[in-house]
Amino acid sequence: MKKGSLAVVLGSLLVSGAFYTALAEETPGTPMKHQHNNTGELVELHFHYPIKGKQEPKNNHLVVLIEPKIEINKVIPESYQKEFEKSLVLQLSNVLERKGYSVSSFKDVSEIPQDIKEKALLVLRMDGNMAILEDIVEENDATNEEKVIDMSSGYLNLNFVEPSSEDIVHSFGVDISKIEAVIERVVLDRTNSGGFVPKTFVHKIKETDHDRAIKKIMNQAYHKVMVQVSRELSKKHMDHYEKVASEMKKRK
C-alpha cells in the first residue's frame, strides 16, 4: 500500500473513532452531570412584622383574642406551627394595644367569663389550614431549565365577633397558597465541542434543603397575614366594627 493511501485510511479510522466515541458518550442516556451546591445560607424562623404608628391613648375598650387554630400537614414541624400561632397572638395584641385597646387572650371562646363577654367590644378568632407540598417540578422549555420547588397551600380566616351573641361583625381571609422556595435548579446545556454529536451537560444547582424551604415559606406566609391584618385593624375599620358591635349588643 502506498504511503498516501495509508494516511487516508488512518485518517478515516481516526475520524470514525472520534465519531463513535462521541456517540458512546451521548447515546447511553447518561449525559454529563455537574452538581453545584448553594446551601450555605442560614435561614431561621422570623415571625415578626414591624408595627407602625404612635401609641394611642387608652380608649377603655377591651378586645378578646382567641388563640389561632391552624391545621397543618405532616411536612410542617409542630414546633413551627406553635411558634407561628404564638407570634400571631403576640403581635395582634401589640397592634391593638398600640391603638389604645386593652387585650385579653383565651384558648377558646367557651372559656370567656360572662363578665368579660359583657364588657368586651369584640372577640377576634383566627382559624384555617396550611400545607407545604414538596418536590414539585416546574419546567421552562424556553430556558432549558426546570426547578424543583416546595410550595405552600392554605387559607387563614379572621372573624370579628360580638362577644355575647357570637354573631360575626366582620370576617376576611388571607390566601397563603403558592408561596415557593426553590430546592434545586436543573439546567440542560447542549454544546458542540467539535464532534459530530453535541454533548448534553446537566447542571444541577442545589439551592436549599426542605427544612430551609419550610422556614422561608412560613416566614413569607406570616408577613402576608400580618400585612392584611394590619389593614383590617386600621382606625377607620375598628370604628366601624365598634359601631356594628354596639348595635348588636343593644338588640340582645
| Mean pLDDT across 12-29 | 42
The answer to the question of residue 16 being in a domain is no
How many structural domains compose the chain? 1
Query: Is residue 164 in a domain?
Result: yes
- Give 110's DSSP letter: G
- Residue range of the domain that includes 128: 30-38+57-250
Query: 10-23: buried (b, 16+ CB within 10 Å) or exposed (e) per residue?
Result: eeeeeeeeeeeebe
If DSSP states are collapsed to H, E and C, what string results for 24-59? Answer: HHHCCCCCEEEEEECCCCCCCCCCCCCCCCCCCCCC
| pLDDT (tens digit per residue) in 65-107 | 999 999 999 999 999 999 999 999 999 999 999 999 999 999 9
Whether residue 5 is contained in a domain is answered as no
Q: Can you give the pLDDT at residue 211?
A: 93
Is the residue at 24 inside a domain? Answer: no
**For the whole prediction, is pTM greater than 0.75?**
yes
DSSP letter string, 122-148: EEEEEEEEEEEEEEEEEEEGGGTEEEE
In a domain, 113, yes or no: yes
Highest mean pLDDT, choosing among 14-18, 19-23, 65-69? 65-69
Q: What is the CATH number of the domain that holds 64?
A: 3.30.160.180
Look at residue 243 and tell me if it is in a domain. Answer: yes
228 is written with which cell numbers? 392584611
What is the rounded average pLDDT of the residues 33-41? 60
Work out whether strand 168-175 and strand 145-161 pair parallel, antiparallel, or are unpaired: antiparallel
Strands 62-66 and 122-140: parallel
Pull the grid cell for residue 216.
Answer: 422561608
Q: Does 152 reside within a domain?
A: yes
Q: How confident is the model at residue 20 (pLDDT cuts 50, 70, 90)?
A: very low
Q: Which helix (H) or strand (E) covers residue 240, if one does? A: helix 235-250
